[in-house]
Amino acid sequence: MLKAVRRGAKLYVVDPRRTSTCEWADGWLPVEVGSDISLSNGIARVILEEGLQNRAFIARACEGFEAFAQNVEQYPLARVTKETSVDAELIRRVARDYARADRAMICWTLGITEHHNAVDNVFSLINLGLLTGHVGKWGSGLNPLRGQNNVQGGGDSGALPNRLPGFQDVEDDAVRAAFDAKWGRPVPPKKGWHLTDMFHAMERRELTALYVIGENPAQSEADARHCHALLNGLDCLIAQDIVMTKTCEMAHVVLPATASFCEAEGTVTNSERRVQRVRKAVQPPGQARDDIEIISELSRRLGYELGLPSAEAAWDEMRSLSPMHGGMSYRRLEQLGGIQWPCPDESSPGSPFLHGRLWADPVEGPRAPFQVVHQDPPVEALDADFPLRLTTGRRLDSYNTGVQTGGYVSPLRQRETIELSPVDAKMLGVHPGDTVRVSSRRGNVTVEVAIDEHLKPGLTFMTLHAPDQVDVNQLTIDATDPKSGTAEFKAAAIRVEKL
């Protein structure tokens, strides 16, 4: 992004906090936490008001425009400014620059998706892309920046409750038939549960055994106390990981695994859908075994012989069943330095961008739908008992619950803190380094104070990187998005007390 900025691209940053990216931006929009839809709809309204929409694109490739336009009519700048706290002129400038740009991109991360209305937040951004035609073209588009090196690949290969490899619908009989034939066993015909569904099923005692691979829910889930109670209530918890995580400590069985990026062969898929090879560089310690070996052994003991396929053999099987991976042999992945899906056959160079079909004449496939979405503030409103907004996030040198980054001493890492605005710190009578108790309706932690001079009054910030020191998920709320299942990590109501 900074390379593009240096070449003259404009950059606007929408973030309640002033991040280092803002230093390079043409404008910083310090939105209120959870006001994203108001902002998007407000930008859309300005674009329409000034006639900057891409009429030709909307007419040829989209549907649902009228209802969308009617809806955003309810978001005049006076309202949007009130809800977002962003200056009206700045919003107008963003709308004009985005709409008038030859090519423009919207990139986002968890600030959009860790909300109770995550999917609607994303829809509101997609609407802007469709409105201006900034989709389906080189250098344009909508880009969720992935936070893990293979979160894309996990979903691509069927680690989703309703999908088989290649995003194929598990409830489609024809799709399942191909897998049934390959595996010689019927694939369950109904979709399963996503993470949040699973926790609800644990509450109902419908789910009593859990096999966790490479995830640390004991520390990564919102409302940790509730999560622990559910995990402790399981009849059987199996944890497969590379280090002894908190989840492993709670498990009945721990299966030590290899670090897949350097102790095993395989592939990962990055944020731009590029499938890339990972290779074995070191020997794993002790009894740690390759994930494929563990799963094969488990399967054998459950009565189904998988053999012991190499990573490449497993990959080739997936290529034979997932059309979008068809042309990605290991040989080609090596030659081309990774390939972006879809890549249906060995003559395909892969696809640097998606949705180009919307520009084909006539448009290929279904039209792209506008979505009507409404501003809906965080589930937990601020009140006299819990008057401050806690938003959680990450720091450059650390990663999630610290399972991996806990293994090195970073000179950038400070002690875990709660960041307060100067105004709130003064009102509370606290100084940097003071210890405070932070409480929400679900739990409390004690933590040191730091001051972020750019934070607006009422907003506080913590990370989830050091749960052994400060378990921030004691505070977070497990209000989840009904479609994605993601919890509202970005917005809890808290109280801070000087100790």
Contact set with another protein (CB under 8 A): 2, 6, 24, 145-149, 151-152, 242-243, 259-263, 268-272, 274, 276-283, 285-288, 337-338, 396-399, 403-412
Judged by phi (left if over 0) then psi (alpha if -120 to 50, else beta), residue 327 lies in alpha
Contact 343, 328 (CB under 8 A): yes
Smallest distance from another protein to CB 251, Å: 17
Phi and psi at 220, nearest 5°, equal -95, -15
Contact 158, 188 (CB under 8 A): no
**Minimum CB distance to another protein smaller for 338 or for 378:** 338
**Minimum CB distance to another protein smaller for 42 or for 402:** 402
Neighbouring residues of 285: CB distance < 8 A, sequence distance ≥ 6: none
Smallest distance from another protein to CB 91, Å: 27
Give the three-state DSSP class for 193.
coil
d(CA 170, CA 336): 32
**Minimum CB distance to another protein smaller for 283 or for 347:** 283
Smallest distance from another protein to CB 282, Å: 5
Smallest distance from another protein to CB 152, Å: 7
Give the three-state DSSP class for 469.
coil
Q: Give the CA radius of gyration of the chain.
A: 24
**Minimum CB distance to another protein smaller for 161 or for 406:** 406
**Minimum CB distance to another protein smaller for 436 or for 464:** 464
**Minimum CB distance to another protein smaller for 46 or for 268:** 268
Smallest distance from another protein to CB 248, Å: 12
Burial letters for 383-412: b for 16+ Cβ neighbours within 10 Å, e otherwise? eeebebbbbbbeeeebebbbbebbeeeeee
Burial class (CB in 10 A: 0-12, 13-18, 19+), 270: middle
**Minimum CB distance to another protein smaller for 269 or for 296:** 269
Q: Between the CA atoms of 148, 154, 338 and 350, what dihedral angle is there, to the nearest 10 degrees?
A: -120
Smallest distance from another protein to CB 276, Å: 5
d(CA 284, CA 266): 15
**Minimum CB distance to another protein smaller for 347 or for 414:** 414
**Minimum CB distance to another protein smaller for 226 or for 280:** 280
Smallest distance from another protein to CB 326, Å: 21
| DSSP-assigned states of every residue in 406-423 | GGS--TT----EEEE-HH
Contact 389, 493 (CB under 8 A): yes
Smallest distance from another protein to CB 415, Å: 15
Contact 139, 384 (CB under 8 A): no
Smallest distance from another protein to CB 234, Å: 26
Burial class (CB in 10 A: 0-12, 13-18, 19+), 145: exposed
